[in-house]
Structure 1
Amino acid sequence: MYLWKQVDPLMQHQGEKVLKALLDSGHSAYFVGGCVRDELMDRPVHDMDIATSAKPEMVMDLFERTIPTGLQHGTVTVLMGDYPFEVTTFRKESHYEDHRHPSAVEFVSGIVEDLQRRDFTMNAIARSLDGELTDPFLGLEDIRKGIIRCVGKAEERFNEDALRMMRAIRFASVFGFRPVKSLWRALTNGRDKLSFVAMERIRAELERLVLGSHPLRGLELLRRSRLLHYAKIPFKEPGELTREQHQRLQALNHLPAEPQGLRWSMLLQGLAVSGSEAEALMKEWTFSNQVAETTAEIMRFDASWREIRSSLEVEETERLRRSWVSQQLLYGQTISGLWLERESQWLAYTGGEGREARLRLHEEEMQWHLAVPVHDLKELAIRGGDVLAALDLKGGPWLGELMKQVLLLVAVGDAPNEKKALLEYVKAVVRQNES
């Protein structure tokens, strides 16, 4: 008997109520898939899927709150308390027309036949209400060995659904598992079928890999397999890595997964993608605008600040500080803060001449970042209307430029953020321009 240890007790209670209701109505029912796998691997369980002999309409009749999530595939979402549970009728799938979707689904009566259609042995384990496992393909043994193995012939599983190739590499990366030789051979032989899979599905797997616990392992498997070369929009494949690129990729494992821009910006720079290329490329890969823009902005910030640093001597501390403040105003407090967080990890993997000086400057960068008192015109003690009234002038483009000068003046600490002092400054600027 296997007890739940990684499941929220309330979710477990509600899930067991669903299972018991199905059993009490004369149907077979089991917990299946990721929840069983993660429990056996001592990983947190986030949701609980159920397989049953009950047909979808029977499930909907049995429970008060249901959502017909995918009736054509036998799936009904049952709402029990505050938790949703996907309840799917035992089924087998016929010929796959496009290496992705089955042309038809046939409901079956037994759990073993249902498990037979699944992708990998570790995902083809069912758990009964009392904790007994149904494991016809020795998934538990494979979990203990740390290997990824397909249910049945790998060629057939990948031919049915080409996305399973990406899932195999993602699982190997996140879990630190090893693909067996038969799986790897089928993957490399059938990788051209990935062109049938929608880019957003590939991107979702790639995201989970890069944001997982062992991204370098997954990226190396992708490089060796050349799988992403066959995506509709090929992922950039690295050539011979420079020392700096290698160090950037090494830093990936130590960056937090959120916000995503931290890892993606480091990865893309490690692949020699520029900030100007990154945003368009990520949007082509169907990343959200927010992730694509944040990633590109971190990369642009990095390129710009490197250029500024290279033009100034380390000893020119005040000029560097002022340049930093201007840069922080240009890109914003959030982007500069993310860059600093990323740079801290990056510096842990750099070496060579000048490293100590760079670490000292990084300490100063963090202090400058925290010391900037204003970042937006709305934070100033004066408004455009105050300036027009004080100068008795009409508005125009000049006013916006003048307000930006005032913002920089306060941000670098050359003037207090006080109305009287700032109005004196703008009067002096206008008098100087008139003379």
Structure 2
Amino acid sequence: MKQWNHVDSLMVSAGEEVLRRIGDAGYEAYWVGGCVRDEVMGRPVHDMDIATSARPEMVTQLFERCIPTGLQHGTVTVLIQKQAFEVTTFRKETEYEDHRRPASVEFVDAVLEDLKRRDFTMNAMAMDLEGQLIDPFHGREDIKAGLIRCVGEADERFEEDALRMFRAIRFASVFGFTPVLSTWRALLRNRDKMGFIAIERIRAEFEKILYGPDPLRGLELLRRSGLLEYSRVPLGPVQIQTELLRKLPLLPAEPVQLRLSLLVQGLGIDTQAVLDLLKRWTFSNREAEGTASLTRFDQELMDQFHAVSSMSAQEREESLRRSWILLQLTYGKDTAGLWISRMKVLLGSSKTDGSSSLISLELLEILEAWHSSIPVHQVRELAVKGNEVLEGISRPGGPWLGSLMKKLLYAVAAGDISNNKEALLNEVKRTVNLNET
């Protein structure tokens, strides 16, 4: 019997119990799909899907805790021993709607028929309770050879679900595999069908490429295939900066803003267009706004570096210090910290790019010291409140007050004024008197 070597033992024990109960009831049951593929490849297995000849209503009778995840497709989630397993009845799809989803499914009794409907040979394997591998399409051989091959006719598989074309590139990128020629040619013939696929589904696959071990391979295959140009949100004309893109794998996958910001800059996306583009690509507000802030922070800081290049050393450092403080107040301490983290990686690279060539490790250390030394970042952190300012100068409120409070915030952050009530109120009076004269 083959042992699972890349799965948590508690998950294996619970999965075996599911297969055993279904088998004892007179039905067939197998582990299928990604878990079998990853075990064959020696990769960590994070979840285990199960296929069975038992109908969904029978599965729900065999287990105390079930969730009707997708009854229309024959899927029930079984909860057992603090583990969750998607258990799906053997099925074959009939016709597909809009190259995205089956119009209906037909339950069948044989696992072979079920495996025929899957996308690639490496995902069309099953394993029984005794550890016997069922591999009718030679998926294990393709894994050993590093090949991505559609099950059956590639044109039919892509006609059924156009997202499979993007998945082929994702697997090629993450696993370092190569699509066989017949699969690649079918992808090129069918790429116009990407327009039928919801951008959310494409974005999910794209993220797995971007945050995977070799995003450059995926990006190159996307470029060669032209898939993105046929999606609902094409990138449009880009100006690829190869040196930046080559550094993508050097950055950690989390937080996502690190690689995502370098990607959009490496593609030459205008900083003002980044937020809208990422939202249209259905990235979360946090990811989209964080990435847009990071790219704008970088661009504005680089502009400052160029602006002070002709100054004396002393003037240049003070001007940069004040520019840094203003940017950190504008975009936040977290964004400034992410920029520093990203720049450390860029400077650590053997090759320079247009931004890092302006910055030395010595200067980066100075920027990092400024980053940590700024005492306040929000108006609410000031030792004086807006109503106290109004009382101190006996004036009614108005839009001017918000502007004044921001000036006080900057003055405290830059070290021009101490953050105490008396000093701040004196500065308020001085400012008001200057404006009146």
Using structure 2 for the length normalisation, give the TM-score: 0.94
Partner of 1:251: 247
Q: Partner amino acid for 1:387?
A: V
Q: Which moved more, 1:48-57 or 1:422-431?
A: 422-431
Deviation at 1:424, TM superposition (A): 2.5
CA distance in 2, matches of 1:69, 1:341: 41
- The alpha-carbon distance between structure 1 residues 360 and 69, as it changes in their structure 2 partners (threshold 3 A), is same
Q: Secondary structure at the match of 1:85?
A: strand
Deviation at 1:353, TM superposition (A): 11
- CA displacement, residues 114-154 of structure 1 (integer Å, 9 cap, x when unaligned): 11111011111111123221111111121111111111121
- CA displacement, residues 91-122 of structure 1 (integer Å, 9 cap, x when unaligned): 11122232222222111111111111110111
Matched ranges for 1:92-131 at <5 A? 92-131=92-131
CA distance in 1, matches of 2:30, 2:152: 22
Q: Which moved more, 1:124-133 or 1:355-364?
A: 355-364
- CA displacement, residues 253-274 of structure 1 (integer Å, 9 cap, x when unaligned): 1112122222121111111111
Q: Are positions 1:201 and 2:201 aligned together? A: yes
Deviation at 1:172, TM superposition (A): 0.4
Partner of 1:382: 384
Partner of 1:417: 419
Partner of 2:235: 235
Q: Partner amino acid for 2:297?
A: F
Matched-pair contact (CA < 8 Å) for 1:237–1:271: no
CA distance in 1, matches of 2:237, 2:123: 30
Deviation at 1:344, TM superposition (A): 2.2
Partner of 2:408: 406
Deviation at 1:357, TM superposition (A): 5.0
Partner of 2:36: 36
Instruction: Give the alignment partner of residue 293 of structure 1, picking from 276, 280, 289.
Output: 289
CA distance in 2, matches of 1:427, 1:13: 74
Q: Are positions 1:147 and 2:147 aligned together? A: yes
Q: Which moved more, 1:52-61 or 1:101-110?
A: 101-110
Partner of 1:171: 171
Q: Please, what is the CA RMSD of the aligned residues?
A: 1.9
Q: Partner amino acid for 1:376?
A: Q
Q: Which moved more, 1:421-430 or 1:64-73?
A: 421-430
CA distance in 1, matches of 2:256, 2:144: 31
CA distance in 1, matches of 2:357, 2:201: 41
CA distance in 2, matches of 1:338, 1:302: 10
Q: Secondary structure at the match of 1:72?
A: helix
Instruction: Give the alignment partner of residue 266 of structure 1, picking from 262, 265, 283.
Output: 262
Q: Partner amino acid for 2:167?
A: R
Q: Partner amino acid for 2:361?
A: L
Matched-pair contact (CA < 8 Å) for 1:29–1:52: yes
- The alpha-carbon distance between structure 1 residues 305 and 357, as it changes in their structure 2 partners (threshold 3 A), is closer
- CA displacement, residues 2-43 of structure 1 (integer Å, 9 cap, x when unaligned): 322222222222222222211121111111111111122222
Matched-pair contact (CA < 8 Å) for 2:35–2:48: yes
Q: Partner amino acid for 1:368?
A: W
CA distance in 1, matches of 2:223, 2:252: 23
Q: Secondary structure at the match of 1:84?
A: strand
Q: Partner amino acid for 2:69?
A: T
Partner of 2:225: 225
Partner of 2:304: 308
Q: Which moved more, 1:322-331 or 1:127-136?
A: 127-136
Q: Partner amino acid for 2:31?
A: F
Matched-pair contact (CA < 8 Å) for 2:149–2:183: yes
- The alpha-carbon distance between structure 1 residues 425 and 183, as it changes in their structure 2 partners (threshold 3 A), is same
- CA displacement, residues 148-195 of structure 1 (integer Å, 9 cap, x when unaligned): 111112111111111100000001001111111111111111111212
Matched-pair contact (CA < 8 Å) for 1:274–1:299: no
Matched-pair contact (CA < 8 Å) for 1:158–1:187: yes
CA distance in 2, matches of 1:132, 1:354: 55
Using structure 1 for the length normalisation, give the TM-score: 0.94
Matched ranges for 1:66-85 at <5 A? 66-85=66-85
- % of aligned pairs identical? 56
Runs of 5+ consecutive residues of structure 1 not aligned to the other structure:
none
Partner of 2:271: 275
CA distance in 1, matches of 2:281, 2:356: 38
Deviation at 1:356, TM superposition (A): 7.7
Runs of 5+ consecutive residues of structure 2 not aligned to the other structure:
none
Partner of 2:331: 331
CA distance in 1, matches of 2:18, 2:387: 64
Q: Partner amino acid for 1:221?
A: L
- The alpha-carbon distance between structure 1 residues 8 and 237, as it changes in their structure 2 partners (threshold 3 A), is farther
CA distance in 2, matches of 1:52, 1:223: 40
Q: Partner amino acid for 1:157?
A: R
- CA displacement, residues 316-355 of structure 1 (integer Å, 9 cap, x when unaligned): 1111111100110011111111222222223324169993
CA distance in 1, matches of 2:267, 2:2: 45
CA distance in 1, matches of 2:218, 2:143: 18
Q: Secondary structure at the match of 2:101?
A: coil
Matched-pair contact (CA < 8 Å) for 1:121–1:142: yes
CA distance in 2, matches of 1:352, 1:342: 14
Matched-pair contact (CA < 8 Å) for 1:247–1:346: no
CA distance in 2, matches of 1:168, 1:400: 54
Q: Are positions 1:427 and 2:429 aligned together? A: yes
CA distance in 1, matches of 2:87, 2:355: 60
- The alpha-carbon distance between structure 1 residues 352 and 177, as it changes in their structure 2 partners (threshold 3 A), is same
Matched ranges for 1:318-357 at <5 A? 318-347=318-347, 348=349, 349-350=351-352, 355=357
